[in-house]
Copies of this chain bind each other. A is one copy, B any other.
Amino acid sequence: MSIQKIHHINFVVKELDAAIRTYSALLGGRHFTKDELSARGALTARTRLGEQWIVLVQPTDPDSVPGRHLKAHGEGFFLMSLGVDDMESSLSDLAIAGLNSTSDKDRKGLLNWWVRDLDMDQTFGAQIQLCEER
């Protein structure tokens, strides 16, 4: 099994710059790098904390996945991404355990991250995804 660590944690927010100011102060003045993720309908800001990334996500499209999450749940935790070495092998292992991805193709995230979301109905309300850097 190749899940070895939490890769990143995403928070959905309404106003990215305001959230950056607060989270930067919270994390001791760390710099956040902003990036648009147009395929996801969102603006993002990320910083590294130890071996993980903290990612703030502001939806630009209310009908995007982050936009719908914001509308349904308000601001706060959005998803936990788990780092894997080999996406296909990890998904095969999970399928054997009855855990399924919601798509049959990887989605390009930030940087060199390729992700696959798991079915939230199977993970007790938490959006969890796998992430492979390549």
Bound-complex Cα distance A96 to B29 (A): 12
User: Considering only CB atoms, which chain B residue lies closest to A25 in the complex?
Assistant: B97
Distance (Å) between the CB of A10 and the closest chain B CB? 10
Interface residues on A, range: 35 or more
Name the residue in A2, A9, A76, A98 with the highest tally of chain B Cβ atoms < 10 Å from its Cβ: A76
The answer to whether A50 touches B5, judged by C-beta atoms less than 8 angstroms apart, is: yes
Distance (Å) between the CB of A87 and the closest chain B CB? 14
12 new A-B contacts, CB < 8 A, other than A3-B26, A6-B49, are: A3-B28, A4-B49, A4-B50, A5-B50, A25-B98, A26-B94, A26-B118, A26-B123, A28-B93, A52-B52, A75-B124, A76-B126
Number of copies of this chain that the complex holds: 2
Indicate if A73 sits at the interface (CB-CB under 8 A).
yes
Indicate if A27 sits at the interface (CB-CB under 8 A).
yes
Bound-complex Cα distance A65 to B93 (A): 35
The answer to whether A126 touches B27, judged by C-beta atoms less than 8 angstroms apart, is: no
The answer to whether A124 touches B93, judged by C-beta atoms less than 8 angstroms apart, is: no
Bound-complex Cα distance A18 to B28 (A): 38
Q: Which 5 A-B pairs have the closest CB atoms?
A: A1-B28, A76-B125, A75-B125, A5-B50, A77-B77
